[in-house]
Every structure is written in structure tokens, then in C-alpha cells.
Amino acid sequence: MARSVNLGSQGLSVPAIGLGCMGMSEFYGPSDRKSNLAVLDRAIEIGCRFWDTADMYGPFTNEELIGEAIRGRRDKVVLATKFGVVRGPQGEWLGVKGGADYVRSSCEQSLKRLGTDHIDLYYQHRVDPDTPIEETVGAMADLVREGKVRFIGLSEADAGTLERAHRVHPLSALQTEYSLWSREVEETILPTVQRLGIGFVAYSPIGRGFLAGAIGDRSDLGEGDWRLSNPRFSARALAHNRQIVDGIAAIAERRGATPAQIALAWVLSRSDGLAAIPGTRRIRRLEENWAAQAIELSPSELAALSALADIGVEGERY
């Protein structure tokens, strides 16, 4: 069932389905550490070993959670983390940084929280508009030469920035939102990464859970869930965007699959050099997402899913 994806041309191989760990620490309401560790244990058992975190999740506590989960079995996981979105100890948002000194200090702190001597894939979380990308990537390249980082990437970068960064040091991956209701990358970003030989990692491939079909209205979102402030989860947007879910659900029913699995299978069909990192805090959903790798959509199903773009999406991504 497991499929491997080569991200870029630098030798980074990961499962096609990974695990976005952000929601285990923040943004989607309260979570339970014991339950989260059980999910991470199960992920290793089934082979879902490409894990994504960031220093700002929590803040800082998500890396600590991952560090606890990989203790004594670091070799079982391809570990990705990110720097660049700056937060204070109380969670305050302090902007974006990409200066060379900040890159180095962020890496040292992440290594300590993760309890490891190296990061497999290190991303700049958001591009710092006040720092040349050449400086940021140059500092990341130094970390590669020192053995603290194996591969590097960017997140939510535009095509021109990718070109400039890739000239400084080969990028293995770009991580950006991509799903059946977030397809902005198709115009210039996907062609650029394919031309440059950079892998692509799709975050929120199930539309922050919406495309799974379980969110009918705002009452389905609990207290502390950041989606309540997201434009796509307003009452008006939910009512309109439900048409997209209905189209996915119709194909899922015919295939004996779940809407989440169909949404994931569509994303995986878009490129050979693409991996997806859905998030979850439930073992059942982890296993469901993992099984999506086995679904091969027919040309007519792919066409029907792609045509859902004609419905249009109500609400901005953020």
C-alpha cells in the first residue's frame, strides 16, 4: 500500500502520505498529549514516517511532543520542521525573520526541543520580505554542510523566490497549501517546482477537514478552533462550499471510500514528486488517510473532481 515519493533530486525519499502535527498542539482546540503520542506511535507502526512540525506550533510545544515521540527511534522518522514565523513565550505574534543569525539560532533551539542532532528537512516557514532570500538560504546551506540539516525547503514562496533560492542551494521541497478548494499553485508554482526539480509537499490537503464532509455548519467547530475566524468557515461560505464536498462525496460513495480519501487521492494524482501531510489527532483518521494511497482515480473521476473548481470557493484561505 505504501508509496514512496522522491522530493527533489537530492535524494530525499518520503512516504506519499505524511503527518502534519500542528493540530496536536494548537489551533484546533484542546488536545490530549497521551492520545497524540498514541497517534504518533501508530504512525510509525503503519509506515507513516514523514512528520511535519514547526517551532511556532504551540508555540514551541509541538517540537517537544515530537521529540518525546521519537526518543530512542529517531531513525524511524523523516523529520521536517520550520523556522521563520516568530512568536513569544505567551504565543504573541512577532512577525517573520530570515536573517542568518536567526536561522542558526532557530535551528539550534529546534534540535534541542526535538532531542536530535539533525533535521531531515528544514523549511523557512514564510519568506522574510526584509531579508534577501540569498542570505536566508545561504545560512540554511551552512547548516547542511555542518550536518545539522540534511535537506532544505521553503513554504508558501512565490516562483521568483524559488528561482533565486534554488541558485544558492538546491531546494528539496516547497510546502504550500493545495487541495480541491485551494488550487492557486497550479498556475505558476507547480510548473516552477517541476521545472527546477523541486518536490512539493501539500499541506491542508483535506481543506482543514472541510473536504472530509464532517463540518456542516459552524456549530461543528469547538471552542478555541481557529477555523471559526477563517473566512472559508463563515456561515455563508460553508453553505456555498458545501457543493464542493457534495461532489467529492458522490464519488466516494461509488468507490466505497470516504470523502477525505478521495480528496487525498486527487492531490496525490497531481504529480509524481508530491507528498501530502494531512493532520489528525485520531488513530482512525490516520489509518483512513494512509489507506488513500491505494486509491487510483479513473480519468473520468479525476475530470469530475477537477471540474469542481467551476463552482468557485467562497472565502479567502486566511
DSSP strand E in 102-209: where? Answer: 119-124, 149-155, 173-177, 199-203
Is 57 a catalytic site residue?
A: yes
Decide if 270 contacts 194 (C-beta within 8 A): no
Alpha-carbon span 318 to 316, nearest angstrom:
6
- Please say whether the beta carbons of 155 and 176 come within 8 A: yes
Whether omega before 299 lies within 30 degrees of 0, making that bond cis, reads no
Those residues with Cβ within 8 angstroms of residue 229's Cβ, 6 or more apart along the chain or in another chain: none
Among candidate residues 295, 315, 314, the one with its CA nearest the CA of residue 305: 295
Beta bridge partners of 79: 51
In angstroms, the CA 299 to CA 192 distance is 25
User: Which of the residues 57, 102, 122, 178 is marked catalytic?
Assistant: 57
**Whether 297 contacts 269, CB under 8 Å:** yes
Known catalytic residues are 57
